[in-house]
Amino acid sequence: MKKYLFIYSVSLLSLISHAVAGPEKSNPNQVIEQLLAETKLINEKYAILYTAKMEELATVNQSLILAVTTEQKVDLLIVKDRLVSDLKKLQNENNSDISKVRYLKGLQVIRILYEKVLSLEHHFASVRTMNEINKMSNPNQYPEYDKLKEILKSKRDKKFAVDLTSMLGTNTLISVVQTFTNMIGSTLTKDEKESEIKNVECILDFTLRMQNDLNTIYFETAYLQSNSEKIKTDIETLFKDYTKPIGYTLSLESCRADDDWETISSKMEDYLGKIRASAGTTQYKLQVNMEFPIDRLLQFITQYNNFIDQGGEFYQKFKIILSSYENEKQCETKLPLEYKKLKADIDIAIDKFNVAYKPVEVNGTKMKEILYGLNEFE
């Protein structure tokens, strides 16, 4: 048994050394892997100790069967009672050690995911605004089109010309209809009309074809941004619930700003001390209060993963939409810079959702191990 305990100690020291160096700061999956590895080692350690006690108990039970005198039986029953107490103590210590590892690793996951959520918030704050979308999708925002309207204004038949209101003048469809109506009734020659149309044909083709698609991108991005804000609120609430049992009162934002993570570790150690010093129903309640936030964390991870998957799908859709403009090559030199920038931004966003913000891998067996610690001898 000493040999196995020595091997366990060496393995645990190796894990602790790795934990001190810290997992990759942006990779919660490494933290999960460490959690599972440390949980396994803790369970193996206590399994060895538990098995040894069980063997002692089996020997005592056998001796009780063979005992003849009352004195022998009383002595053996005292030893048996001590061994049963030792077994229960080992179970409690095993649970306590598992809780400690799960709690601290869960805290690391929250810390990493919060940084990702803040990055998401920054990402959505920098995406295309409605003003930029309007610049791309409305021909009235293009100088070439404005120039054409000015030419037609000076060449129109004033007897029949009607000026649009400021509201209708910015409406794409109405503005285009008026422009072509004015062109038909203008004094421009046929060649001049064809020349002017050629100057704005790409602008009109792009804006009329892509206006609805560009607006779709804007409003669906706004929807993602709203969900991102909810994710941020939810993880801050999770942190509050996560640290409440151990008596930590600062918000996640304040904890991050003050780099106060060590205080949480200290309060967690104090709380574990209370668990070890208590018994019965009180101990059980204290244990549950510490275990419940782990379940909440896993619920949040599922929520986060769904959002990242959804975000990646939305941006893939945006990429398809922007690539659907069939006259892109023909009109390449006339297309707005905002359009090209938007395409580049979407490619970057897809990469971020696949790499920087990627989901946490806690499905199936891993989920069960994290939830229950896989205490094999309970």
Both tokens assigned to 190: 């046929």
Residue 18 confidence (pLDDT) above 70:
no
pLDDT of residue 168: 60
Phi, psi of 141 (to 5 degrees): -90, -5
Contact status, residue 247 vs residue 271, Cβ threshold 8 Å = yes
pLDDT of residue 365: 58
Residue 32 confidence (pLDDT) above 90:
no
Residues 130-185: tens digit of each pLDDT: 677 877 888 888 888 888 888 877 776 665 555 655 556 566 777 787 777 777 77
Residues 202-229: tens digit of each pLDDT: 999 998 899 889 989 988 988 999 999 9
Residue 5 confidence (pLDDT) above 50:
no
User: How far is CA 96 from each of CA 192, 265, 300, 318, rounded to the nearest angstrom?
Assistant: 86, 14, 24, 49
| 125 closest CA partner among 253, 26, 221, 256 | 221
What average pLDDT does the segment 99-105 reach? 87
Is 0.85 surpassed by the pTM of this model? no
Residue 288 confidence (pLDDT) above 90:
no
* Mean pLDDT of the chain, nearest integer: 83
Which stretches of the chain are assigned E, i.e. beta strand?
A: none
Name the more confident of 4 and 110: 110
Q: Is 226 exposed, middle or buried (0-12, 13-18, 19+ CB in 10 A)?
A: exposed
What average pLDDT does the segment 17-31 reach? 61
Distance of CA 119 to the CA centre of its chain: 10
Rounded-to-integer distance, Cα 119 and Cα 117, Å: 5
For helices 280-323 and 337-354, the axis angle rounded to 10 degrees is 150
Highest mean pLDDT of the ranges 25-29, 124-128, 333-337: 333-337
